[in-house]
Structure 1
Amino acid sequence: MLTIHAADELRYGWDEDQEPVKDGAVAVAADRVVGSGPLAELREEFPDARVRRWPGVLGPALLHQGPLPDAPTPRERIHAVLKLGATAVLEEYADTPELRAAAARNDVIVVPRGTAVRRPAAFLGIGRADLAVFEYDETGGGTCVATVCAGRLVHRRR
C-alpha cells in the first residue's frame, strides 16, 4: 500500500541551507520513496494513498554515530536506536553477532568501517525509504515522533 508521510515541514537534509518545504510530504511504496514535495501535490499524484500526518519536521533518518543505548537484549538496543530517528549504525558499535543479527532483522543498515559517516538524504530521487520526524521545542531540542525504516513504520511516539 502506498503511504504518504506528511508533516508541518519537510527537509531534504538536516544540515543543509536549503529552504524547507512547508506542509511537505514523502510518498512511500513498499521500501522505496516514490515522490516528495508539498502534500497537496503528492495527494494529486497519489489520490488513493493513505496519509499519515505527523507533528514536526520530516526528513531523512539519521546515522547513529555512537555506542548503541544500553538495553537488556540486542533487539531492544536496536529498537532504542530506531526511537532516536536512526536507521543506520556504525559497524564498530554493532560489534557482536547478536547485534548485527538484530539490526538485519529490523532492516537497520550497519555502515562498514572506513565509510564516510555522513549519510545522504534517503529521498533525494528514488531511494530506500528511511525517514524520521522530529518535534522541536523552544530550546531547539528535538524529540523523535516517528521513524520509518525501509518503508515500515518502526517507531511512533504515543
Structure 2
Amino acid sequence: MRTLHVAEGAPEAAVLVDGASIAAVGPYEELAAAHPAARVRRWPGILTPGLLNVYGPELLEATYHPDPREADRLGTEPIGGERARAIFRADPSRLGASARRGVQRLFAHGTVAVAGELKARPVLDTVRRAGLAVGRRPDRLPGPASLSPTPLVLLPPLTTGSPARFAIFDVTDRADLVRRGAGTCVATVVGGRMVYRAS
C-alpha cells in the first residue's frame, strides 16, 4: 500500500512511498488528489532527507549502549572510552546487542546513514540488517562524536525513484532544526519502513 507522508510545517514537500522507494515528491494537495487510495500520515514539523552521522565507528563500535535491564548498574546513557572497551573485552558478544541499541538511538535522532570504516562483523551485520546507508566520511570531523552532531549533515534532496529514507523533525524549519538539534525527531523511515516513531 502506498503511504503519503506530509509534515504540517512544509506541506509543499510531501513524500509518496511505494514499498522501499519514493514514488513521488511534491505538494500534498497534488499528491493526495493523484493518489486518493494512499494511506496518509500527518506529522508535526518538517520532513527532511534524513541525517548522515559521520561517527559510525565511534558510536557503534567504541560506545556501549546499555540494555535497559542494566540501568541500575550502568545507567541509561551511552558509555564510551575505557569503560566501554572494558565491557567489550569482558564479553565480546555484547558488541552486537549494543550496536542494535545504538542503531535505534540513531534512528531516534533522524539518522538514516552513517560514515566511517566499520570493522567489527557484528556491527556491520547490524547496520546492514537495519538498512542504514553507509556514506563517505568527511576529511575533517566537526567535533566530538554525538547522536546529534554539529553541524547536522542532511542527505541529498528526496527524489522520485530514490530509496524511501527520510526523517521528520518537530521544528518550524531547517534553521530551527540546526538550532534545536536532532533530538527533535518524531519519525524515521528507512527502506519505506517506519523504524522510529516518537511515543
TM-score range, shorter chain: 0.7 to 0.9
**Aligned letter for 2:15?**
V
Shift of residue 7 of structure 1? 0.4
Q: Does 1:62 align with 2:51?
A: yes
Match of 1:71 in 2: 65
Which is richer in helix? 2
Q: Secondary structure at the match of 1:58?
A: strand
- Mapped to 2, the partners of 1:154 and 1:145 lie a distance apart of 11
TM-score by length of 2: 0.65
Q: Give the unaligned 5+ runs of structure 1.
A: 11-21
Q: Give the unaligned 5+ runs of structure 2.
A: 67-97, 140-152
Shift of residue 25 of structure 1? 1.1
Match of 2:77 in 1: none
The one of 112, 120, 125 equivalent to 2:156 is 120
Q: Secondary structure at the match of 1:136?
A: coil
User: Equivalent residues in 2 for 1:1-158 (5 A)?
Assistant: 1-10=1-10, 22=11, 24-66=13-55, 67-68=58-59, 70-72=64-66, 73-92=98-117, 94-111=118-135, 119-121=155-157, 123-136=158-171, 140-142=179-181, 143-158=184-199
Shift of residue 82 of structure 1? 1.0
Which string of whole-angstrom CA distances, capped at 9 and with x for unpartnered residues, describes residues 108-155 of structure 1? 11225679x87322x223200111001127793140010001111000
Percent identity for Structure 1 against Structure 2: 35
Shift of residue 65 of structure 1? 1.4
CA-based RMSD of the aligned residues comes to: 2.4
**Aligned letter for 2:135?**
V
Relative distance call for 1:100 and 1:24 in structure 2 (3 A) is same
Q: Secondary structure at the match of 1:77?
A: helix
Relative distance call for 1:27 and 1:111 in structure 2 (3 A) is same
Structure label with greater radius of gyration: 2
Q: Secondary structure at the match of 2:8?
A: strand
How many residues in Structure 1 have an aligned counterpart in Structure 2?
144
Structure 1 moving runs of 4+ over 4 Å: 112-115
Relative distance call for 1:83 and 1:70 in structure 2 (3 A) is farther
- Mapped to 2, the partners of 1:65 and 1:91 lie a distance apart of 6
Q: Secondary structure at the match of 1:129?
A: coil
TM-score by length of 1: 0.80
